[in-house]
Structure formats: structure tokens, C-alpha cells
Amino acid sequence: MTSQNRRGSGLVVLALAGLALAVLPWLMFWQQLPANLPSHFGLDGRPDGWMSREALFAVILVFDLVGAIGLVTLAMRAHRMMVAPATLTGFLAGFFLGLGIGMGMASAIPGLGALNTSAAGALGPIVVVATSLLVGAIAARLAQASARKPRRDDASPPAPALTLAPGERAVWTGSASQPLWWALGGALIVGGVLALILTREFWGWLLIVVGLGIGATFARIRVQADHTGLTVRYTALAWPSTHIRLRSIQRATPIDVIPSQWGGWGYRGTVLVAGLAAVVVRKGPGLRLDLTDGRVFVVTVDDPEGAAAVLNAEVARRPGSGGEPASGEE
Amino acid sequence: MLLRIDDASRVPIHEQVAGQVRAAIASGALAPGERLPPARELATGMSINVHTVLRALQTLRDEGLVDIRRGRGVTVTGTAPELAAISEAARSLVADARRQGMSDADIRRLVDGAL
């Protein structure tokens, strides 16, 4: 089983099974489908845009193929990739495939989503979200199993630690900023305003909200490391924030974050579903947390050495800790 | 910015916090114009009362190292780095002089002599 996973065959099976599952509802219900299907819904849940069933099938098939091709490509390359990027890529490709499966089910299965505008139609979005996350999670785990395991002789980067006397406490605060996020948010807002003016559709508002949200989240993050663990706070949001409890942390290491290795910019992955999450606002120095259950969390932050030093020191003096011995002391 | 406090020290916690922030300003870890994290978050991180942190910040404000403004939080002043270095030097002087057994009056006479 291990060697099979190393060849990524699980991912290929997932891709083929996913494609089959994506096409199945269409095959089963094609005769019963009307010539035109809703392809766009207004704010009240009633459809206000239609496509021919052929066109809708084709559009959704594109999602299926993007996801499936992504999984197959990953299957061929995973054994040469490190665990983190492989897991994230698997999650993304699986998510796309799951999205296509869910949309196909919501569109083609009578009563599930698109054909009814009554309460039964509410199931549609739930199905889409559920299938996306589920297939994403499965793909992430398969990719994780297929990726290159760190070899015993891979040099472990040094994990700095402070020496803290029993009565001593330390708190480290830092930040990472990338003003371009405001520019991106601004562009989306402008696009949304244009969309509202030109088309009067609700997704103009969506663009504006997303634009505001992106700028308000990633333009400048603040990071605090102390005895409670690590906390990441987002630019203009008091909530949500990201908190990793100290007891979940095994080891903190300063690293250089190259966004492509961590799935790109923004909030990548999910610790819950993909076993790995990264907050990447810019390229450059960052902090990597290896958690006690094997999961990994990364956050870009300036001068991460201090944060790592505090966390490793607190981990080391945690009662009953099996914390990593520090390789350097301050 | 790294802040360390020590329960075992005879220096009151609020003075330790002020000293740590002063050191951060003097070393450049906190730059002029930079905003400090909210006092509440620092207090929770160090397991101390938020009023202790506020007292430290007020000391720094009185020394001209930070500005405290409603809605803008606590920001480092433009002249803070130089002031912080001088303030630390003054504290060192007083600590050294006291170690030598000098009284406060002696120390004042010493500084007067240098003016």
C-alpha cells in the first residue's frame, strides 16, 4: 500500500472516480431535464439566468476536468514534491473536482437544487460545499501520503529558544505587511462598482464586499507569540483571528516563505481539512510551526527568530512536554 | 518586539515593562510612528494586569517616547529613539551611582556638575 501511494495511484483513482461521479447524475437524468436549466440565481433564490442543459453540462465539465487533470498531474509529480505543497495542491485540485461534482448533482438531480425554486432548492449550495470540502480533504490526504517524506539526513533547521527562568515571562510581537493587498482590494471594489452600474446584478456587491474583505484581512497582519501560543490578527478585523495553542505546538522554526511552495498568497489550506495551513501575505521571512499531531502552520512575519525563541522556550518548560531541545540559546 | 519580565526581580513589573519598551525603541525594534500592540493583548500575553501595562505606557508618554490617542492607540514619537537611548543612559548612571553608595543628593550634584 505504501509503495502504491508513493506512485500516486490513489490520486488517479480519485480523479477517475470523481469524473464518473460527476457525469453520472447527467447520464441518469438527462431525459428528464428541461431544455434549459437555471444557471444563475438572484438574491431571493429564484433563478434569473438560464443556459441550455448542454451548455451547463459543458461548463461544469470544465471544473471536473480541471480538477481531475490537476489530480492526475499531481499523482505523477507528488513523489518529488515536499509534503506541504503536495498537500495543498491536492486540496485545491480535489476542491475543484468536488465543486464540479456538487454543481452537477445540484443541477441534474431533480429536487436537489436547480430545478425547484422551493425550499428543496436550498440543498443545492449545501451539497456543493460538502462535496468540494470532502473531495478536497480526500485529495489532500492522498497527496500527503504520496509526497516525498523528509529523509533522516535532511538537515533540521535550527530552532532558536530563549532561556526563561521560572518567574520570567516573555511576549513577542511582530507584523508582516504588503500594501499591494489594498491595491487588489481596491481593484475588486472598482470592478464591483462598475458591475453594479453596468449590470445591476448582485454580484457587483459581492465583488465590493470581497474587495473590502481582502484588503481588510491581509494588508497587514499582526503576530503575537507568548505562553498562550501563537496568535495572528488580521488587518482591520477584530474577529476572526487565528490562534494556535501552545500545547499544540511542538517546534517553531524561522523559515523563508516562497508563496508557490505554500499554495500561493492569502490563507492557504485549512488545518482541519488539509492538515496544513499557511497565512502568506508576502514573500520572505516567516514562522513555521510543527504541531504535535504532525500538522503544519506557517505565517509570514518580519524577524521571526524572536517569535520562534519565545515559543520554543515556552514549549520546553511546558509541564510534561516532549518539546524539541533547542539548538541555540539566547 | 520582545518584552521580558521577571517576577523574581525587585523592580516593579510596570517599570520592567517600560524599560523593555524603552530598550525596544532604543534598539530600533520599534520605529518612530509605529503603533504598539493593544495593552490588553500585551497584558494577556505576559499574564499581568492590563493596568500595569497602561501604567508603563503612561510613564513612557510622560517621557515623550510615545503618544497615546483615542482611536489611534499608542504610537512611538519621532524623537523617541534618541530620547530612549538617553533615558536608558540616565537610568544606568543612577543604578551605577547607587551601587557605589551615592545618595540621590550626590547624584544630583554630579549631574549639575556636568551641566
Q: Rounded mean pLDDT of A307-328?
A: 73
- Residues A180-209 as b or e (16 or more Cβ within 10 Å = b): ebbebbeebbeebeebbeeeeeeebeebbe
The rounded distance, in Å, linking the Cα atoms of B67 and B70 is 10
DSSP 3-state of A27: helix
CA distance A241 to A277: 14
Asked if the model's pLDDT at residue A20 lies above 90, the reply is yes
Q: A289 phi and psi, to 5 degrees?
A: -110, 120
Cβ atoms A146, A75 nearer than 8 A: yes
Which of A322, A288, A247, A311 lies closest to A83 in space, CA to CA? A288
Chain B residue with CA closest to A170: the answer is B4
Rg, Å, chain B Cα set: 15
pTM over 0.90: no
State the pLDDT at residue A273.
61
pLDDT at A159: 80
What is the rounded CA–CA span in Å between residue A171 and residue A27? 60
Contact A171 B46 (CB under 8 A): yes
Of residues A135 and B91, more confidently modeled: A135
Q: Does B5 touch chain A (CB under 8 A)?
A: yes
- What's the distance, CA A198 to chain centroid? 33
The answer to whether B100 faces chain A, any CB pair under 8 Å, is no
Contact present, B76 and B66 (Cβ < 8 Å): yes
Q: State whether residue B1 sits within 8 Å of chain A by CB.
A: yes
Q: Is the pLDDT reported for residue B18 higher than 90?
A: yes
Instruction: Tell which of A168, A173, A305, A314 to mutate to test the B interface (max B CBs under 10 Å).
Output: A173
* Interchain pair B42, A172: CB under 8 A: no
Q: Is B10 on the interface with A (CB under 8 A)?
A: no
| Residue A156: count of CB within 10 angstroms of its CB | 10
pLDDT band at residue A325 under the 50/70/90 scheme: very low
Task: State the best of B4, B9, B25, B48 to mutate against chain A, taking most chain A CBs within 10 Å.
Answer: B4
Decide if B3 and A165 are in contact by the 8 Å CB cutoff.
no
Contact B45 A222 (CB under 8 A): no
CA distance B97 to B84: 20
Buried b or exposed e, range A237-250, using 16+ CB within 10 angstroms: eeeeebebebebbb
Distance CA A152, CA A155 (A): 8
- Rounded (5°) CA angle A87-A91-A96: 150
Of A171, A306, A309, the CB nearest to B42: A171
Contact B5 A174 (CB under 8 A): no
At A324 the pLDDT is 45
The ipTM value here is 0.87
Query: In sequence order, which residues have a C-beta less than 8 Å from that of residue A111 and are 6 or more positions away?
Result: A120
- In chain B, which residues have their Cβ closer than 8 Å to the Cβ of A306? 1-2
Which residues in chain A touch residue B44, judged by CB atoms under 8 angstroms apart?
A: 226, 228
Give the C-alpha separation, A90 to A70, whole Å.
Answer: 8
Nearest CB partner across the interface for B7, out of A167, A171, A172: A167
A268: its cell numbers: 492557504
Determine the average pLDDT of the residues in A152-171.
Answer: 77
pLDDT of A37 above 80: no
Q: Residue A17: is its pLDDT beyond 90?
A: yes
Q: Can you give the C-alpha Rg of chain A in angstroms?
A: 23
- What is the rounded distance in angstroms from the CA atom of residue A117 to the CA atom of residue A135? 27
B1·A226 Cβ contact <8 A: no
CA A42, CA A39: separation in Å to the nearest integer? Answer: 10
CB atoms within 10 A of CB B102: 15
Phi, psi of A163 (to 5 degrees): -100, 120
Of B3, B6, B8, nearest to A171 by CB-CB distance is B3
Report which of A17, A39, A24 is spatially closest to residue A97, judged by C-alpha positions.
A17
Q: Which three cell numbers stand for residue A190?
A: 472598482
* CA–CA gap between residue A93 and residue A68 (Å, rounded): 7
At residue A278, the pLDDT reads 87
Tell me which residue in A170, A173, A309 faces B37 most closely, judged by beta carbons: A173
B17 touching chain A per CB within 8 A: no
Contact by Cβ (8 Å): B83, B65: yes
User: Does B4 sit within 8 Å of A228, measured CB to CB?
Assistant: no
Q: Cβ contacts (< 8 Å) between A227 and chain B: which residues?
A: 45, 47
**CA distance, residue A270 to nearest chain B CA (Å):** 25
Do A168 and B6 count as a contact with CB atoms less than 8 A apart?
yes
> pLDDT by residue (tens digit) across B39-89?
999 999 999 999 999 999 999 999 999 999 988 889 999 988 888 888 888
Greatest mean pLDDT among A8-12, A141-145, A296-300, B55-59 lies in B55-59
For residue A230, the distance in angstroms to the closest alpha carbon of chain B comes to: 10
* pLDDT score recorded for residue A326: 44
Element (H or E) spanning A19, and its range? helix A9-29
Give the nearest partner residue to B4 out of A168, A224, A227, using CB atoms.
A168
- Tell if the CB–CB gap between A173 and B5 is shorter than 8 Å: no
Torsion angles phi and psi, residue A221, rounded to 5: -100, 150
Provide the pLDDT for residue B58: 95
Q: Name residues whose C-beta falls within 8 Å of residue A20's C-beta, 6 or more positions apart in sequence.
A: none
Chain-centroid distance of CA A92 in Å reads: 7
pLDDT at position A261: 74
User: Per residue in A278-305, pLDDT tens?
Assistant: 899 999 999 999 988 878 899 999 999 9
